[in-house]
């Protein structure tokens, strides 16, 4: 940063952090962020009234209690409490849309600080340069377990082959401007996959690289079941290629069975009628399995259409803890 290029007006910056059972990490996260925000404010990258917005995604532990205590001690920390566990993406969305009311720039990050907070400077500089979306991209995955790394990489590659356009090695660590957050609110789908939607919004974007650290306490809140659900959503919410693939594979299997039929008829004509029971059963099972699989994929889309058609609300905000920023008369919007 060059002192000659001093900004007269630093952006009101809100950092949204979804939290699900994060009691073990919150104090540490908060103290690191306090230090970081002091520095960002001093460097005029963020307005002094900037906020960290924790979104409690229906935690069962003392997460909300800790957020309330942090808020009482320091107005930097604010909180939203969702009425129940809605999942990472919905929690994040609720925070982004809420923050868009007050902020010029809105960041998102995980509670475990696996993403390096020291690149926030660079991200905010990019916003000041006029970018609307700044993606945090990790340049290593050394600290993830082998299994996590493998599943994540396979997921990215699979998605790409399915025609879903995401930024490689980018999770939900990014900074967007107010207008991008507002535009995000125009996407009404219930099946949310923010990494796929943000690139669709457009505007000028860029990447900032960092190395991803380890979760310093607690366990990953994504179990295998949540990861698989997330991966399936990530594809079926954006691409109809799987449906096309079913049609193609169905056609190929049909051709193969015609050839098999010819072979069997010739065998029959020649008098060789001892067709093996095993192979008959095998083909029944194989085709039965394929059909079920195909129906399952179609069902996935039908199910999506059903959920979207209902237009159900994606989340409810139970409580808000936010000492309103000076821009808005210093009014306290805390509600219980
Ligand atoms: N999270 C959430 N709701 C959920 C699951 C996770 O808000 O149902 C939050 C979690 O508290 C964390 C972020 O999403 O801040 C990412 O989760 P985690 O760090 O466990 O995922 P990983 O880094 O293992 O992918
Ligand atoms: Mg994590």
Q: Identify the CA nearest to 198 among candidates 229, 222, 176, 169.
A: 176
pTM score, whole prediction: 0.72
pLDDT, tens only, 121-161:
999 999 999 999 999 998 866 666 777 778 777 877 887 88
For residue range 87-123, list pLDDT tens digits in order: 899 999 999 999 999 999 999 999 988 888 999 999 9
d(CA 116, CA 237): 29
Residue with tokens 């994929």: 297
Confidence of residue 46 (pLDDT cuts 50, 70, 90): very high
Rounded distance between C-alpha atoms, residue 201 and residue 100, angstroms: 16
Choose from 13-17, 165-169, 259-263, 320-324 the range with maximum mean pLDDT.
Answer: 13-17
Helices (H) and strands (E) in the chain, counts: 10, 8
For ligand 1, say whether the CB of 19 is within 6 Å of any of its atoms. Answer: yes
Q: Are 234 and 170 in contact (CB under 8 A)?
A: no
Cα of 219 to ligand 2 centre, how many Å? 8
Q: Is the CB of 111 under 6 A from ligand 1?
A: yes
The rounded Å distance from CA 215 to ligand 2 centre is 6
The answer to whether the CB of 222 is under 6 A from ligand 1 is yes
């Amino acid at each position: 940063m060059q002192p000659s290029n001093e900004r007269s007006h630093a952006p009101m910056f809100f950092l949204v952090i979804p939290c699900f059972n994060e009691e073990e990490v919150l104090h540490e996260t908060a103290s690191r962020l306090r230090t970081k925000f002091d520095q960002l404010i001093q460097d005029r990258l963020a307005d002094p009234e900037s906020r960290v917005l924790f979104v409690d995604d229906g935690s069962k532990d003392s997460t909300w209690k800790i957020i309330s205590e942090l808020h009482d001690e320091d107005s930097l920390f604010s909180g939203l409490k969702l009425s129940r566990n809605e999942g990472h993406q919905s929690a994040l969305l609720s925070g982004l849309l809420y923050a868009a009311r007050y902020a010029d720039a809105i960041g998102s990050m995980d509670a475990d600080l696996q993403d390096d907070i020291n690149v926030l400077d660079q991200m905010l500089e990019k916003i000041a340069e006029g970018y609307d979306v700044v993606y945090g991209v990790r340049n290593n995955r050394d600290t993830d377990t082998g299994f996590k790394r493998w599943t994540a990489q396979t997921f990215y590659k699979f998605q790409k082959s399915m025609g879903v356009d995401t930024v490689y090695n980018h999770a939900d660590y990014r900074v967007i401007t107010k207008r991008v957050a507002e535009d995000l609110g125009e996407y009404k789908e219930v099946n949310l996959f923010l990494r796929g939607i943000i690139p669709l919004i457009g505007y000028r974007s860029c990447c900032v690289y960092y190395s991803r650290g380890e979760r310093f306490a607690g366990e990953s809140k994504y179990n295998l079941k949540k990861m698989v659900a997330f991966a399936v959503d990530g594809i079926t919410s954006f691409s109809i290629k799987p449906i096309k693939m079913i049609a193609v594979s169905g056609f190929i299997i049909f051709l193969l069975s015609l050839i098999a039929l010819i072979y069997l008829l010739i065998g029959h004509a020649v008098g060789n009628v001892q067709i093996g029971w095993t192979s008959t059963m095998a083909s029944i099972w194989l085709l039965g399995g394929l059909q079920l699989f195909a129906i399952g994929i179609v069902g996935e889309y039908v199910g999506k259409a059903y959920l979207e058609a209902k237009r159900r609300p994606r989340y409810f905000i139970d409580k808000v803890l936010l000492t309103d920023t000076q821009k808005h008369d210093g009014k306290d919007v805390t509600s219980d």
